[in-house]
Amino acid sequence: MTKESLWTKNFITLIGTNAFLFAGFHCLLPTLPLYAASLGATGSQIGIVTGIFGFAAIIVRLFTDTGVRALGKKKCLYIGLFLSIIATVSYRVFTSIDMLIIARIIHGFGFGLSTTFAAAIVSDVIPDSRRGEGIGYFGLGSTVAMALSPALGVMLLSDYSSVALFAFSAIATVLSVLCTKACSAKEIIPELPTSAMHTSIKNRIYESGTGIPAILTILFGAAYGSVNTFIAMMAKQAGIADAGIFFIVGTIFVFISRPFGGRLFDSKGAFWVILPGAFLFLGALFIIINASTLPILLAASVLYGLGGGLLLPALLTWMLNVVHADRRSSASATFYNMLDIGTSGGIIILGSLAGSVGYIHMYVYVIDAMIAFIAFFILQHFLKTQKKTYVPDKTND
């Protein structure tokens, strides 16, 4: 049987949308705290600037159903992208800390909408039989951005100016808008009964039926966010120079794992992707906690890339597969909500622990989170009588 076409114009343009969106975002991650400090922000104010973004993204995703019914997915994506552009320009125009925090909230709203609806639209474009593979490729754009944009952002801010930094971020987001405009995918705005419009806050935070992957995404978000945020601090404590290479090597192995993992998900189901990915990531954490030289740390980055490259798209695909087609926007919002909750909460808790036990031993608690992830996943796999919960469900479409 001939495979349905994956590499369509719409799919390729949406990969561009995602790549440029994350490029504009990730160049600001390591630089906004530096910029805020240059404006005279205190440590607590810098913490607010850094942390409030994720909470704003979670809040706006509570209203994705309303947005889809009123405007459709693509218009909601445009709104998110334009809010991101406005926020990026505002960082430079308004130089008070209070206005910087407001701009960060607006950016959180924009990023929350953009990530949710970009993933929802691409899930409609990808053939059902190749959704795992397609989601894996879709995420490669954000992976490249995560590896390259932070270093580029630091260079622009330190070697040039904040104007150059924010100009790059805004231009990248404008390119995301142009890629979205080039996508001509048709969409159907779901007609839901009136009763479905009055859902509880709980059901707005996560889509019904996605409870198991939602819990796993929170646990993995805490572990994944700790590596992304604290690996440089851990390397400094261990006396390891050039730790930034960790992410470059990791990105290479994300590229290797994602297409393979997606095809395996489509043919075998989530179990055969998520469990190996979790053990690979756990192995990376064990190496990190014992790393004393750069080559050892880079060995951890290989497992980090392979494990993360398998887990993130698999968890997203799982959520998209267990809901009906007209609920994919909500499932996409659930994934990013849970990832933000795990990442933001994990960073706050683990950062506090690092203050007392150090960044190296902090990873003991990260290992505990991944062990809990594996134990919960195995337990639900063998106890759940309806295995279709995590196997691609073709009946939903």
Least confident of 11-20, 78-87, 223-232: 223-232
pLDDT in tens, 93-103: 888 899 999 99
Q: Do 223 and 154 share a structural domain? A: no
Handedness of CA 214, 387, 2, 124 (dihedral sign): negative
Question: Residue 258 has which token pair?
Answer: 């994602």
The residue with greater pLDDT, 146 or 235, is 235
Per-residue pLDDT at 252 exceeds 50: yes
Q: Do 380 and 257 share a structural domain? A: yes
pLDDT in tens, 189-219: 555 554 445 556 666 677 878 889 999 999 9
Percentage of the chain lying above the pLDDT 90 cut? 38
For residue 199, tell me if it sits in a domain: no
For residue 394, tell me if it sits in a domain: no
Q: Do 83 and 21 share a structural domain? A: yes
For residue 106, tell me if it sits in a domain: yes
Q: Do 221 and 158 share a structural domain? A: no
Q: Do 363 and 229 share a structural domain? A: yes
Note the pLDDT of residue 165. Answer: 93
CATH label of the domain that carries residue 371: 1.20.1250.20
For residue 84, tell me if it sits in a domain: yes
For residue 90, tell me if it sits in a domain: yes
Q: Do 119 and 236 share a structural domain? A: no
Q: Do 352 and 251 share a structural domain? A: yes
Q: Do 374 and 255 share a structural domain? A: yes
Q: Do 156 and 217 share a structural domain? A: no
Give the integer Cα–Cα distance in Å for 27 and 173.
12
Q: Do 237 and 368 share a structural domain? A: yes
Per-residue pLDDT at 239 exceeds 50: yes
For residue 107, tell me if it sits in a domain: yes
For residue 195, tell me if it sits in a domain: no
Q: Do 287 and 153 share a structural domain? A: no
Query: What's the total number of domains in the chain?
Result: 2
Average the pLDDT over 30-54 and give the result: 78
Full residue range of the structural domain in which residue 228 is found: 205-388
For residue 312, tell me if it sits in a domain: yes
